[in-house]
Amino acid sequence: MLGTEKQNFDILICGAGPGGAALASICADRGISTALIERQSGFSNEFRGEGIMPSGYEALKSIGFDLDRMKLPMQKNLRGKVYNKTEPLISFEFPFRRQGGLRWVSQPALLEHMIKDSLTKNNFTFFRGCRALDVLRENNRVSGLKVSQKGEEFDVKAKTVIGFDGRNSMLRRKLRFKVLDFKQIIDVVWFKVPYPHEFLDRGTALVNILNKGFMVCPACYNDELQIGWIIAKGSYGEIKKVGEDAWISEIQRQCPQGLADHLERNRNKISNKFVLSVQLDRCTTWSSDGVLLLGDAAHTMNPVGAQGVNIALRDAIVAANHLVPLLSGNPTHTSLDKAFEDIEMERLREVKPIQDFQKKPTTLLKKQNPLTLFLIRNLSCITRLEFIQRKILKLADMMAYGVTKVELKV
Ligand SMILES: Cc1cc2nc3c(=O)[nH]c(=O)nc-3n(C[C@H](O)[C@H](O)[C@H](O)COP(=O)(O)OP(=O)(O)OC[C@H]3O[C@@H](n4cnc5c(N)ncnc54)[C@H](O)[C@@H]3O)c2cc1C
Protein backbone atom coordinates (compact mmCIF):
# COMPACT_ATOMS: atom_id res chain seq x y z
CA MET A 1 0.00 0.00 0.00
CA LEU A 2 1.58 3.27 -1.08
CA GLY A 3 0.65 6.93 -0.94
CA THR A 4 0.87 9.68 1.63
CA GLU A 5 -2.69 9.28 2.89
CA LYS A 6 -3.09 8.61 6.60
CA GLN A 7 -4.62 5.32 7.55
CA ASN A 8 -6.27 4.68 10.86
CA PHE A 9 -6.04 1.25 12.39
CA ASP A 10 -6.97 -0.11 15.80
CA ILE A 11 -3.53 -1.65 16.21
CA LEU A 12 -0.26 -1.07 14.38
CA ILE A 13 2.41 -3.71 14.95
CA CYS A 14 5.98 -2.92 13.96
CA GLY A 15 7.92 -6.10 13.01
CA ALA A 16 6.64 -9.35 11.52
CA GLY A 17 8.88 -11.77 13.41
CA PRO A 18 7.13 -14.66 15.18
CA GLY A 19 5.77 -12.35 17.90
CA GLY A 20 4.40 -9.64 15.61
CA ALA A 21 2.97 -12.12 13.10
CA ALA A 22 1.23 -14.06 15.90
CA LEU A 23 -0.31 -10.97 17.53
CA ALA A 24 -1.45 -9.66 14.15
CA SER A 25 -3.02 -13.01 13.30
CA ILE A 26 -5.07 -13.11 16.53
CA CYS A 27 -6.16 -9.46 16.32
CA ALA A 28 -7.19 -9.69 12.65
CA ASP A 29 -9.08 -12.89 13.33
CA ARG A 30 -11.02 -11.24 16.18
CA GLY A 31 -12.20 -8.36 13.98
CA ILE A 32 -9.67 -5.73 15.10
CA SER A 33 -8.42 -3.56 12.24
CA THR A 34 -4.75 -4.52 12.19
CA ALA A 35 -1.69 -3.20 10.40
CA LEU A 36 1.60 -5.09 10.42
CA ILE A 37 4.75 -3.58 8.97
CA GLU A 38 7.93 -5.43 8.11
CA ARG A 39 11.10 -3.85 6.74
CA GLN A 40 12.18 -6.99 4.86
CA SER A 41 10.52 -7.94 1.61
CA GLY A 42 11.48 -11.61 2.12
CA PHE A 43 11.63 -13.36 5.48
CA SER A 44 14.83 -15.22 4.62
CA ASN A 45 16.67 -11.89 4.68
CA GLU A 46 16.40 -11.90 8.48
CA PHE A 47 18.20 -14.70 10.34
CA ARG A 48 16.54 -15.70 13.61
CA GLY A 49 16.20 -18.61 16.02
CA GLU A 50 14.26 -21.58 14.68
CA GLY A 51 13.92 -23.80 17.74
CA ILE A 52 10.31 -24.29 18.81
CA MET A 53 9.82 -25.82 22.26
CA PRO A 54 6.52 -27.48 23.27
CA SER A 55 5.52 -24.11 24.82
CA GLY A 56 5.91 -22.37 21.45
CA TYR A 57 4.23 -25.28 19.66
CA GLU A 58 1.18 -24.95 21.94
CA ALA A 59 1.11 -21.16 21.51
CA LEU A 60 1.08 -21.52 17.71
CA LYS A 61 -1.51 -24.30 17.85
CA SER A 62 -3.85 -22.19 19.95
CA ILE A 63 -3.76 -19.50 17.23
CA GLY A 64 -4.59 -22.10 14.58
CA PHE A 65 -1.12 -23.12 13.38
CA ASP A 66 -0.51 -26.75 14.30
CA LEU A 67 3.06 -27.40 13.16
CA ASP A 68 2.47 -31.16 13.13
CA ARG A 69 -0.31 -30.75 10.55
CA MET A 70 1.31 -28.06 8.44
CA LYS A 71 3.63 -29.02 5.64
CA LEU A 72 6.51 -26.75 6.61
CA PRO A 73 10.19 -27.72 6.59
CA MET A 74 10.59 -29.09 10.14
CA GLN A 75 12.76 -31.58 12.02
CA LYS A 76 12.04 -32.86 15.52
CA ASN A 77 14.98 -33.26 17.90
CA LEU A 78 14.06 -36.08 20.30
CA ARG A 79 17.40 -37.05 21.81
CA GLY A 80 20.91 -35.75 22.35
CA LYS A 81 24.52 -36.88 22.54
CA VAL A 82 27.32 -35.13 24.40
CA TYR A 83 30.98 -35.55 23.42
CA ASN A 84 34.10 -34.25 25.07
CA LYS A 85 36.05 -33.53 21.91
CA THR A 86 36.51 -37.00 20.39
CA GLU A 87 35.17 -39.01 23.36
CA PRO A 88 31.45 -39.84 23.82
CA LEU A 89 30.21 -38.76 27.27
CA ILE A 90 26.43 -39.29 27.45
CA SER A 91 23.39 -40.04 25.31
CA PHE A 92 19.92 -39.08 26.47
CA GLU A 93 16.30 -38.76 25.38
CA PHE A 94 14.66 -35.34 25.74
CA PRO A 95 12.21 -35.57 28.68
CA PHE A 96 9.69 -33.66 26.51
CA ARG A 97 10.08 -35.91 23.44
CA ARG A 98 6.45 -37.09 23.71
CA GLN A 99 5.41 -33.47 23.23
CA GLY A 100 7.40 -33.39 19.98
CA GLY A 101 10.80 -32.51 21.46
CA LEU A 102 12.58 -29.48 20.09
CA ARG A 103 11.07 -28.76 16.66
CA TRP A 104 13.47 -26.99 14.29
CA VAL A 105 11.16 -25.09 11.96
CA SER A 106 11.97 -22.91 8.97
CA GLN A 107 11.06 -19.40 10.15
CA PRO A 108 10.74 -17.89 6.65
CA ALA A 109 8.23 -20.66 5.73
CA LEU A 110 6.31 -20.33 9.00
CA LEU A 111 6.08 -16.53 8.82
CA GLU A 112 5.03 -16.58 5.15
CA HIS A 113 2.32 -19.08 6.06
CA MET A 114 1.05 -16.95 8.96
CA ILE A 115 0.96 -13.79 6.85
CA LYS A 116 -0.84 -15.57 3.99
CA ASP A 117 -3.46 -16.77 6.45
CA SER A 118 -3.93 -13.28 7.96
CA LEU A 119 -4.30 -11.81 4.48
CA THR A 120 -7.48 -13.84 4.04
CA LYS A 121 -9.04 -11.58 6.71
CA ASN A 122 -10.58 -8.31 5.55
CA ASN A 123 -9.32 -6.20 8.40
CA PHE A 124 -5.63 -7.04 8.01
CA THR A 125 -3.12 -4.88 6.14
CA PHE A 126 0.45 -6.01 5.64
CA PHE A 127 3.09 -3.46 4.69
CA ARG A 128 5.87 -5.64 3.25
CA GLY A 129 9.34 -4.19 2.67
CA CYS A 130 8.27 -1.16 4.69
CA ARG A 131 10.57 0.35 7.32
CA ALA A 132 9.34 2.32 10.31
CA LEU A 133 11.47 5.45 10.49
CA ASP A 134 10.05 7.35 13.41
CA VAL A 135 7.03 7.83 15.64
CA LEU A 136 4.16 10.24 14.96
CA ARG A 137 2.81 12.17 17.93
CA GLU A 138 -0.49 13.78 18.84
CA ASN A 139 -1.00 15.41 22.24
CA ASN A 140 2.26 14.01 23.62
CA ARG A 141 1.34 10.46 22.71
CA VAL A 142 2.45 8.23 19.87
CA SER A 143 -0.36 8.07 17.32
CA GLY A 144 1.35 6.07 14.59
CA LEU A 145 4.55 5.60 12.62
CA LYS A 146 6.29 7.40 9.81
CA VAL A 147 7.30 4.68 7.36
CA SER A 148 9.14 4.24 4.10
CA GLN A 149 8.23 1.73 1.40
CA LYS A 150 9.85 1.55 -2.03
CA GLY A 151 11.35 5.01 -1.56
CA GLU A 152 8.06 6.64 -0.60
CA GLU A 153 7.42 7.99 2.88
CA PHE A 154 3.97 8.06 4.45
CA ASP A 155 2.22 7.92 7.82
CA VAL A 156 0.34 5.01 9.34
CA LYS A 157 -1.89 5.87 12.28
CA ALA A 158 -3.46 3.67 14.92
CA LYS A 159 -5.10 3.71 18.34
CA THR A 160 -2.21 1.68 19.68
CA VAL A 161 1.32 0.91 18.52
CA ILE A 162 3.19 -2.27 19.42
CA GLY A 163 6.97 -2.59 18.99
CA PHE A 164 7.71 -6.18 18.04
CA ASP A 165 10.72 -4.93 16.08
CA GLY A 166 13.43 -7.14 17.53
CA ARG A 167 16.77 -6.72 19.23
CA ASN A 168 17.71 -3.49 17.39
CA SER A 169 14.27 -1.97 17.94
CA MET A 170 13.80 1.47 16.41
CA LEU A 171 10.99 2.15 18.90
CA ARG A 172 13.19 1.25 21.85
CA ARG A 173 15.77 3.74 20.57
CA LYS A 174 13.50 6.60 19.56
CA LEU A 175 11.49 6.51 22.79
CA ARG A 176 14.67 6.21 24.86
CA PHE A 177 13.65 3.16 26.83
CA LYS A 178 16.09 2.41 29.65
CA VAL A 179 17.78 -0.98 29.24
CA LEU A 180 19.36 -3.41 31.71
CA ASP A 181 22.25 -4.93 29.75
CA PHE A 182 23.35 -8.35 31.04
CA LYS A 183 26.80 -8.34 29.46
CA GLN A 184 27.42 -11.50 27.44
CA ILE A 185 30.75 -13.25 26.97
CA ILE A 186 29.85 -15.34 23.94
CA ASP A 187 29.09 -15.03 20.25
CA VAL A 188 27.92 -17.84 17.98
CA VAL A 189 29.16 -18.85 14.54
CA TRP A 190 26.21 -20.65 12.89
CA PHE A 191 26.48 -22.79 9.79
CA LYS A 192 24.76 -25.80 8.23
CA VAL A 193 26.06 -29.05 6.75
CA PRO A 194 24.19 -32.05 5.33
CA TYR A 195 22.96 -34.24 8.21
CA PRO A 196 25.63 -36.85 9.13
CA HIS A 197 23.40 -39.96 9.00
CA GLU A 198 26.44 -42.25 9.11
CA PHE A 199 27.33 -40.78 12.51
CA LEU A 200 24.07 -39.61 14.16
CA ASP A 201 20.59 -41.18 14.21
CA ARG A 202 17.88 -38.96 12.68
CA GLY A 203 16.53 -36.37 15.13
CA THR A 204 19.60 -36.30 17.38
CA ALA A 205 21.13 -33.07 18.63
CA LEU A 206 24.85 -33.06 19.36
CA VAL A 207 26.80 -31.09 21.96
CA ASN A 208 30.58 -31.16 21.66
CA ILE A 209 32.85 -29.70 24.35
CA LEU A 210 36.00 -28.22 22.82
CA ASN A 211 39.24 -27.08 24.46
CA LYS A 212 37.79 -23.62 24.67
CA GLY A 213 34.11 -23.19 23.88
CA PHE A 214 31.69 -25.79 22.58
CA MET A 215 29.38 -26.66 19.72
CA VAL A 216 25.61 -27.07 19.91
CA CYS A 217 24.23 -28.83 16.85
CA PRO A 218 20.49 -29.44 16.47
CA ALA A 219 19.10 -31.61 13.69
CA CYS A 220 17.65 -29.18 11.20
CA TYR A 221 14.93 -29.39 8.51
CA ASN A 222 15.93 -30.15 4.88
CA ASP A 223 18.08 -33.00 6.20
CA GLU A 224 20.80 -30.73 7.59
CA LEU A 225 22.70 -30.30 10.83
CA GLN A 226 22.77 -26.75 12.15
CA ILE A 227 26.11 -26.16 13.86
CA GLY A 228 26.38 -23.43 16.48
CA TRP A 229 30.01 -22.89 17.44
CA ILE A 230 30.13 -20.88 20.66
CA ILE A 231 33.14 -18.58 20.73
CA ALA A 232 34.41 -15.85 23.08
CA LYS A 233 32.69 -12.52 22.48
CA GLY A 234 34.44 -10.39 19.89
CA SER A 235 36.84 -13.17 18.85
CA TYR A 236 35.35 -13.72 15.38
CA GLY A 237 37.66 -11.08 13.88
CA GLU A 238 40.71 -13.21 14.77
CA ILE A 239 39.01 -16.41 13.61
CA LYS A 240 38.12 -14.81 10.29
CA LYS A 241 41.72 -13.74 9.75
CA VAL A 242 42.96 -17.36 9.77
CA GLY A 243 40.39 -18.24 7.09
CA GLU A 244 37.45 -20.66 6.96
CA ASP A 245 39.59 -23.67 5.95
CA ALA A 246 41.81 -23.26 9.01
CA TRP A 247 38.98 -22.91 11.54
CA ILE A 248 37.04 -25.82 10.09
CA SER A 249 40.23 -27.92 10.40
CA GLU A 250 40.56 -26.83 14.04
CA ILE A 251 36.95 -27.87 14.73
CA GLN A 252 37.64 -31.21 13.01
CA ARG A 253 40.65 -31.84 15.26
CA GLN A 254 38.40 -31.41 18.30
CA CYS A 255 35.31 -33.34 17.30
CA PRO A 256 34.31 -37.01 17.11
CA GLN A 257 35.92 -38.84 14.19
CA GLY A 258 32.57 -39.52 12.50
CA LEU A 259 31.74 -35.82 12.38
CA ALA A 260 35.31 -34.81 11.43
CA ASP A 261 35.17 -37.18 8.43
CA HIS A 262 31.72 -35.91 7.52
CA LEU A 263 32.92 -32.29 7.61
CA GLU A 264 35.87 -33.25 5.40
CA ARG A 265 33.60 -34.85 2.81
CA ASN A 266 31.20 -31.89 2.89
CA ARG A 267 33.51 -28.88 3.07
CA ASN A 268 32.02 -27.48 -0.13
CA LYS A 269 28.47 -27.92 1.24
CA ILE A 270 28.85 -25.66 4.28
CA SER A 271 26.07 -23.09 4.00
CA ASN A 272 24.10 -20.38 5.82
CA LYS A 273 27.11 -19.10 7.76
CA PHE A 274 26.12 -16.34 10.15
CA VAL A 275 27.86 -14.78 13.14
CA LEU A 276 25.46 -13.91 15.94
CA SER A 277 26.57 -11.25 18.36
CA VAL A 278 24.90 -12.59 21.49
CA GLN A 279 22.88 -10.12 23.51
CA LEU A 280 20.80 -10.44 26.68
CA ASP A 281 18.96 -7.42 28.01
CA ARG A 282 15.61 -6.11 29.25
CA CYS A 283 13.91 -2.71 29.25
CA THR A 284 13.21 -1.44 32.75
CA THR A 285 9.65 -0.68 31.65
CA TRP A 286 8.08 -1.98 28.46
CA SER A 287 5.72 0.87 27.63
CA SER A 288 6.04 4.59 27.14
CA ASP A 289 4.12 7.36 25.37
CA GLY A 290 1.39 4.93 24.26
CA VAL A 291 3.77 2.30 22.79
CA LEU A 292 4.22 -1.22 24.17
CA LEU A 293 7.40 -3.16 23.40
CA LEU A 294 7.26 -6.95 23.27
CA GLY A 295 9.49 -9.88 22.26
CA ASP A 296 13.17 -9.17 21.71
CA ALA A 297 12.45 -5.43 21.57
CA ALA A 298 11.45 -5.52 25.27
CA HIS A 299 13.80 -8.31 26.38
CA THR A 300 16.46 -9.63 24.00
CA MET A 301 17.05 -13.31 24.69
CA ASN A 302 20.32 -15.17 24.11
CA PRO A 303 20.32 -18.59 22.36
CA VAL A 304 20.62 -20.64 25.61
CA GLY A 305 17.74 -23.13 25.74
CA ALA A 306 16.30 -21.96 22.39
CA GLN A 307 13.85 -19.65 24.16
CA GLY A 308 13.62 -16.48 22.03
CA VAL A 309 10.94 -17.49 19.54
CA ASN A 310 8.85 -19.26 22.19
CA ILE A 311 8.92 -16.32 24.56
CA ALA A 312 7.95 -13.92 21.76
CA LEU A 313 4.97 -16.13 20.82
CA ARG A 314 3.84 -16.29 24.43
CA ASP A 315 4.18 -12.49 24.74
CA ALA A 316 1.82 -12.23 21.76
CA ILE A 317 -0.81 -14.47 23.39
CA VAL A 318 -0.79 -12.56 26.68
CA ALA A 319 -0.91 -9.21 24.84
CA ALA A 320 -3.89 -10.41 22.79
CA ASN A 321 -5.74 -11.52 25.94
CA HIS A 322 -5.51 -7.97 27.31
CA LEU A 323 -5.78 -5.90 24.14
CA VAL A 324 -8.44 -7.64 22.05
CA PRO A 325 -11.32 -6.92 24.51
CA LEU A 326 -10.18 -3.28 24.83
CA LEU A 327 -9.70 -2.68 21.11
CA SER A 328 -13.07 -4.24 20.34
CA GLY A 329 -14.60 -1.24 22.14
CA ASN A 330 -13.40 2.31 22.46
CA PRO A 331 -10.28 2.24 24.62
CA THR A 332 -9.12 5.31 26.51
CA HIS A 333 -5.43 6.12 26.86
CA THR A 334 -5.69 5.25 30.55
CA SER A 335 -7.20 1.83 29.85
CA LEU A 336 -4.52 1.07 27.24
CA ASP A 337 -1.72 2.16 29.57
CA LYS A 338 -3.14 -0.03 32.34
CA ALA A 339 -3.31 -3.01 29.94
CA PHE A 340 0.33 -2.41 28.92
CA GLU A 341 1.38 -2.52 32.58
CA ASP A 342 -0.63 -5.69 33.20
CA ILE A 343 0.93 -7.40 30.17
CA GLU A 344 4.43 -6.48 31.33
CA MET A 345 3.76 -7.72 34.86
CA GLU A 346 2.33 -11.01 33.63
CA ARG A 347 5.19 -11.65 31.21
CA LEU A 348 7.94 -10.61 33.64
CA ARG A 349 6.99 -13.59 35.80
CA GLU A 350 8.34 -15.80 33.00
CA VAL A 351 10.90 -13.65 31.21
CA LYS A 352 12.85 -12.78 34.36
CA PRO A 353 13.56 -16.35 35.60
CA ILE A 354 14.45 -17.49 32.09
CA GLN A 355 16.82 -14.57 31.62
CA ASP A 356 18.27 -15.26 35.10
CA PHE A 357 19.13 -18.74 33.87
CA GLN A 358 20.51 -17.42 30.58
CA LYS A 359 22.70 -14.98 32.54
CA LYS A 360 24.76 -17.76 34.12
CA PRO A 361 28.32 -17.45 32.84
CA THR A 362 29.45 -19.97 30.28
CA THR A 363 32.28 -21.54 32.27
CA LEU A 364 33.19 -23.82 29.38
CA LEU A 365 34.53 -20.82 27.50
CA LYS A 366 37.18 -20.07 30.06
CA LYS A 367 40.38 -22.07 30.30
CA GLN A 368 39.24 -25.37 31.78
CA ASN A 369 40.58 -25.67 35.34
CA PRO A 370 41.12 -29.07 37.04
CA LEU A 371 37.63 -29.00 38.62
CA THR A 372 35.90 -28.31 35.27
CA LEU A 373 37.97 -31.05 33.63
CA PHE A 374 37.04 -33.48 36.41
CA LEU A 375 33.33 -32.63 36.04
CA ILE A 376 33.45 -33.04 32.26
CA ARG A 377 35.23 -36.41 32.42
CA ASN A 378 32.77 -37.70 35.01
CA LEU A 379 29.64 -36.24 33.44
CA SER A 380 28.17 -39.67 32.86
CA CYS A 381 28.38 -40.62 36.60
CA ILE A 382 27.37 -37.16 37.79
CA THR A 383 24.22 -37.09 35.67
CA ARG A 384 23.14 -40.40 37.20
CA LEU A 385 22.99 -38.88 40.72
CA GLU A 386 19.35 -38.52 41.78
CA PHE A 387 19.54 -34.91 42.96
CA ILE A 388 21.33 -33.89 39.73
CA GLN A 389 18.67 -35.68 37.69
CA ARG A 390 15.95 -33.78 39.58
CA LYS A 391 17.71 -30.49 38.81
CA ILE A 392 18.09 -31.36 35.12
CA LEU A 393 14.42 -32.34 34.86
CA LYS A 394 13.32 -29.10 36.52
CA LEU A 395 15.42 -27.08 34.12
CA ALA A 396 14.22 -29.05 31.09
CA ASP A 397 10.63 -28.44 32.23
CA MET A 398 11.23 -24.69 32.42
CA MET A 399 12.82 -24.60 28.95
CA ALA A 400 10.16 -26.85 27.39
CA TYR A 401 6.95 -25.57 28.95
CA GLY A 402 7.82 -22.10 30.25
CA VAL A 403 7.35 -20.79 33.76
CA THR A 404 3.79 -19.49 33.79
CA LYS A 405 0.49 -20.73 32.37
CA VAL A 406 -0.09 -18.98 29.05
CA GLU A 407 -3.43 -19.61 27.33
CA LEU A 408 -5.23 -17.76 24.59
CA LYS A 409 -8.46 -16.56 26.21
CA VAL A 410 -10.00 -14.35 23.52
C1 LIG B 1 20.89 -13.72 14.25
C2 LIG B 1 20.01 -14.26 15.33
C3 LIG B 1 20.12 -15.61 15.72
C4 LIG B 1 19.32 -16.12 16.74
N5 LIG B 1 19.45 -17.41 17.15
C6 LIG B 1 18.61 -17.89 18.10
C7 LIG B 1 18.62 -19.23 18.50
O8 LIG B 1 19.42 -20.00 18.01
N9 LIG B 1 17.70 -19.66 19.42
C10 LIG B 1 16.78 -18.81 19.95
O11 LIG B 1 15.93 -19.23 20.75
N12 LIG B 1 16.77 -17.54 19.63
C13 LIG B 1 17.65 -17.08 18.73
N14 LIG B 1 17.58 -15.80 18.37
C15 LIG B 1 16.58 -15.00 19.01
C16 LIG B 1 15.20 -15.19 18.36
O17 LIG B 1 15.33 -15.23 16.97
C18 LIG B 1 14.37 -14.04 18.84
O19 LIG B 1 14.29 -14.10 20.25
C20 LIG B 1 12.97 -14.06 18.27
O21 LIG B 1 12.99 -14.11 16.86
C22 LIG B 1 12.24 -12.82 18.76
O23 LIG B 1 11.04 -12.66 18.05
P24 LIG B 1 10.44 -11.22 17.85
O25 LIG B 1 9.18 -11.43 17.09
O26 LIG B 1 10.40 -10.49 19.12
O27 LIG B 1 11.52 -10.41 16.97
P28 LIG B 1 12.30 -10.77 15.63
O29 LIG B 1 12.15 -12.20 15.27
O30 LIG B 1 13.67 -10.23 15.78
O31 LIG B 1 11.52 -9.94 14.54
C32 LIG B 1 11.57 -8.54 14.48
C33 LIG B 1 11.14 -8.13 13.10
O34 LIG B 1 11.03 -6.71 13.07
C35 LIG B 1 11.50 -6.25 11.82
N36 LIG B 1 11.91 -4.85 11.99
C37 LIG B 1 12.94 -4.39 12.73
N38 LIG B 1 13.00 -3.04 12.67
C39 LIG B 1 11.98 -2.65 11.86
C40 LIG B 1 11.55 -1.38 11.39
N41 LIG B 1 12.16 -0.23 11.75
N42 LIG B 1 10.47 -1.33 10.56
C43 LIG B 1 9.83 -2.49 10.20
N44 LIG B 1 10.22 -3.72 10.60
C45 LIG B 1 11.28 -3.79 11.43
C46 LIG B 1 12.66 -7.18 11.50
O47 LIG B 1 12.96 -7.21 10.13
C48 LIG B 1 12.14 -8.51 12.03
O49 LIG B 1 11.49 -9.28 11.03
C50 LIG B 1 18.39 -15.27 17.36
C51 LIG B 1 18.25 -13.93 16.94
C52 LIG B 1 19.07 -13.43 15.95
C53 LIG B 1 18.93 -11.97 15.52
The CATH number of the domain covering residues in 64-104+185-278+361-410: 3.30.9.30
Name residue 9's beta-bridge partners. 158
Q: For a substitution probing ligand 1, which of 37, 48, 106 has the most ligand atoms within 8 Å of its CB? A: 48
Please give the pLDDT value at position 2: 45
Query: Domain limits of the chain?
Result: 7-50+106-182+280-359, 64-104+185-278+361-410
Q: How many helices (H) and strands (E) does the chain have?
A: 12, 21
Please give the pLDDT value at position 381: 84
Is the per-residue pLDDT at 4 higher than 70?
Answer: no
Please give the pLDDT value at position 96: 97
Q: By the 8 A CB rule, do 94 and 79 touch?
A: yes
Instruction: Answer whether 40 contacts ligand 1 (Cβ < 6 A).
Output: yes
**CA-based nearest residue to 85, from 301, 306, 254:** 254
Instruction: Answer whether 163 contacts ligand 1 (Cβ < 6 A).
Output: no
Name residue 226's beta-bridge partners. 192
Neighbour count for residue 358 (Cβ, 10 Å):
18
Atom 3 (ligand 1) nearest CA: 48
Question: How far, in Å, is the centroid of ligand 1 from the Cα of 296?
Answer: 7
* CA 162 – CA 158 distance, rounded (Å): 10
Instruction: Answer whether 214 contacts ligand 1 (Cβ < 6 A).
Output: no
Q: What are phi and psi of 292, to 5 degrees?
A: -110, 130
pLDDT in tens, 62-83: 999 999 999 999 999 999 999 9
Please give the pLDDT value at position 367: 63
Question: How far, in Å, is the centroid of ligand 1 from the Cα of 107?
Answer: 10
Please give the pLDDT value at position 204: 98
Contacts of 125 (CB under 8 A, 6+ apart): 1, 7, 9, 34, 35, 36
* CA 205 – CA 124 distance, rounded (Å): 39
**Measured from the CA of 43, which atom of ligand 1 is nearest?**
49
Is the per-residue pLDDT at 304 higher than 50?
Answer: yes
**CA-based nearest residue to 102, from 227, 193, 217:** 217
Is the per-residue pLDDT at 361 higher than 70?
Answer: no
Atom 30 (ligand 1) nearest CA: 166
pLDDT in tens, 215-237: 999 999 999 999 999 998 998 89
56-79 burial, b at 16+ Cβ within 10 Å, e below that, comes to bbbbbebbebebeeeebbbbbbbb
Instruction: Answer whether 148 contacts ligand 1 (Cβ < 6 A).
Output: no
Instruction: Answer whether 132 contacts ligand 1 (Cβ < 6 A).
Output: yes
Average confidence (pLDDT) over 258-278: 94
Instruction: Answer whether 213 contacts ligand 1 (Cβ < 6 A).
Output: no
* CA 180 – CA 163 distance, rounded (Å): 18
Instruction: Answer whether 19 contacts ligand 1 (Cβ < 6 A).
Output: yes
Is the per-residue pLDDT at 194 higher than 50?
Answer: yes
**CA-based nearest residue to 123, from 26, 38, 35:** 35
Question: How far, in Å, is the centroid of ligand 1 from the Cα of 267?
Answer: 29
Instruction: Answer whether 165 contacts ligand 1 (Cβ < 6 A).
Output: yes
Instruction: Answer whether 43 contacts ligand 1 (Cβ < 6 A).
Output: no
Instruction: Answer whether 167 contacts ligand 1 (Cβ < 6 A).
Output: yes
Average confidence (pLDDT) over 45-62: 95
Atom 2 (ligand 1) nearest CA: 48
| 357 vs 365 pLDDT, higher one | 357
DSSP 387: H
Instruction: Answer whether 276 contacts ligand 1 (Cβ < 6 A).
Output: yes
pLDDT in tens, 387-410: 988 998 999 999 999 999 999 999
Q: For a substitution probing ligand 1, which of 128, 162, 165, 227 has the most ligand atoms within 8 Å of its CB? A: 165
**CA-based nearest residue to 172, from 163, 183, 180:** 163
Atom 37 (ligand 1) nearest CA: 165
Q: By the 8 A CB rule, do 239 and 231 touch?
A: yes
Instruction: Answer whether 38 contacts ligand 1 (Cβ < 6 A).
Output: yes
* CA 301 – CA 351 distance, rounded (Å): 9
Q: What are phi and psi of 213, to 5 degrees?
A: 90, -175
Tell me the average pLDDT of the chain. 93
Query: What region, left, alpha or beta, does residue 286 occupy, with left being phi > 0 and alpha being psi -120 to 50 degrees?
Result: alpha
* CA 79 – CA 97 distance, rounded (Å): 8
* CA 35 – CA 127 distance, rounded (Å): 7
Instruction: Answer whether 48 contacts ligand 1 (Cβ < 6 A).
Output: yes
Please give the pLDDT value at position 145: 98
Question: How far, in Å, is the centroid of ligand 1 from the Cα of 250?
Answer: 31
Average confidence (pLDDT) over 171-194: 95
Contacts of 370 (CB under 8 A, 6+ apart): none
Neighbour count for residue 283 (Cβ, 10 Å):
21
pLDDT in tens, 155-172: 999 999 999 999 999 999
Strand residue runs (E) in 222-364: 224-232, 271-277, 281-283, 287-288, 291-293
Q: By the 8 A CB rule, do 305 and 311 touch?
A: no
Question: How far, in Å, is the centroid of ligand 1 from the Cα of 166?
Answer: 5
Instruction: Answer whether 256 contacts ligand 1 (Cβ < 6 A).
Output: no
Neighbour count for residue 27 (Cβ, 10 Å):
31
Q: By the 8 A CB rule, do 104 and 253 touch?
A: no
Name residue 103's beta-bridge partners. 52, 76
Atom 49 (ligand 1) nearest CA: 17
The CATH number of the domain covering residues in 7-50+106-182+280-359: 3.50.50.60
pLDDT in tens, 310-331: 999 999 999 999 999 999 999 9
What is the identity of the amino acid at 74? M
Say whether 64-104+185-278+361-410 and 7-50+106-182+280-359 share the same fold: no
pLDDT in tens, 86-138: 999 999 999 999 999 999 999 999 999 999 999 999 999 999 999 999 999 99
Half-sphere exposure of 270 (CA within 13 A, CB side): 17
Question: How far, in Å, is the centroid of ligand 1 from the Cα of 19?
Answer: 9
Helix 333-359 to helix 386-401 angle (10° resolution) is 150
* CA 48 – CA 251 distance, rounded (Å): 24
Strand residue runs (E) in 102-256: 102-105, 124-128, 130-138, 141-149, 152-163, 179-181, 186-194, 204-209, 214-217, 219-220, 224-232
